Structure 1
C-alpha cells in the first residue's frame, strides 16, 4: 500500500509538471520569441529607444567640431581594431563618414571578428579632427598596407563616438 501511494504521488507530480510547462502564459511566450539576444560590453543597457543609422546620420550632420550629443543608435560594424578590439568604425548609410568608436576609459573591448554584425552603441557623439599620426596608427591597427598608411598626409575631420556600452546582436 505504501509503495502504491508513492507511485501515485510520483505520477501525479510528473503530470502536473508537464501541464505547467504547456500552460505557459501566452504573453510571456510571445516576449521570449521577440526578444533579440545581445551580448553586452561596458555599461549595461537595453536596445529600447535606439535611433536608426539614418537618424544618427542626420544628428552627426548637424554637429560642428567640438559639439557633443548623448545618443544611442543601431547600425553595423565596418571594421574593428585587429590588435585588441579597442575601437571600431560603424556604418552610416550613404555617407563617406564612418564614425570611429572608442570605448569610455579604455574600459572594455569588443571581439575582433565582428565586421558586418549589428551593434547598438550608447554614449557621446561628436565631430573631431584626427591628426595624421593618429590616422596612421588606426590604419596600421586596421591592417592597411604600408602604401595606404604612407598616403595619409592631412588631418581629417571625422565623426567620433565615445561609447559607454555596446550591445552585439547574436
Structure 2
C-alpha cells in the first residue's frame, strides 16, 4: 500500500512539474513585445543587418557538439534563420528541438564566395525539392544569421 501511495505521489509531482515548467533563458532578457516575423526579415535582410530584432519560432536543429548554434523555423515553409553564438557564450540544449523560442539579437551578413554561394543555394533548393542549375548563380550572395543577446526557449 505504501509503495502505491509513493508511486501516485511521484506521478503527481512529475505531472505538476511538467505543467509548470519554466522557460529556459540565456543571456539578457528578450524583447517579446516587438517580434518580427522571420519571413519579413528574410524578404529584405539587408534592411535588418546590424539592427536589433526579435524573432519567434520553433527550434528545428541544435549543434550537437557544443550547443553553439540552432535554427529557428520561419512562419513560411522552407525558411529558417540560423542563430549563432561564440562557443561557450550560450549552450543550447538538444532538448530545445521542437520547442518554441524567442530570440533577440543583431542580424549579421556573412559574404559567401561564388563557390560557397552555389553550394548554399543548391542545398536550399534541394531542401525545397526544387530543381537547381548551379550555372545560374553568377554572383556571390550573403548568408544571414542572428547573433543573439537573449534567448528564451519555451518548454
The root-mean-square deviation of aligned C-alpha atoms, in Å, is 3.2
| 2:35 alignment partner, one of 24, 41, 51 | 51
1:122 corresponds to which of 98, 101, 104: 104
Rounded Cα–Cα distance in structure 2 between residues aligned with 1:68 and 1:40: 23
Q: 1:66 to 1:105 in 2, by over 3 A?
A: farther
1:140 — aligned with what? none
Number of the residue aligned with 1:91: 73
Residue matched to 2:84: 102
- Greater CA radius of gyration, 1 or 2? 1
Ranges in structure 1 where 5+ consecutive residues have no aligned partner: 1-34, 137-153
Return 108-117 or 97-106, whichever deviates more. Answer: 97-106
Deviation of 1:160 (Å) = 0.7
State how many pairs are aligned. Answer: 114
- Work out the CA distance in 2 between the residues paired with 1:128 and 1:96: 20
Cα 1:95–1:120 shift into 2, 3 Å: same
Quote how far apart the aligned CAs of 1:123 are: 0.6
Unpaired runs of 5+ residues, structure 2, are 1-19, 121-136
Is 2:63 the counterpart of 1:81?
yes
What do residues 85-129 of structure 1 show as CA deviations (whole Å, max 9, x unaligned)?
110111112254421111267511110232111011111023333
- Report the TM-score, using the length of structure 1 for normalisation: 0.54
TM-score normalised according to structure 2 size: 0.59
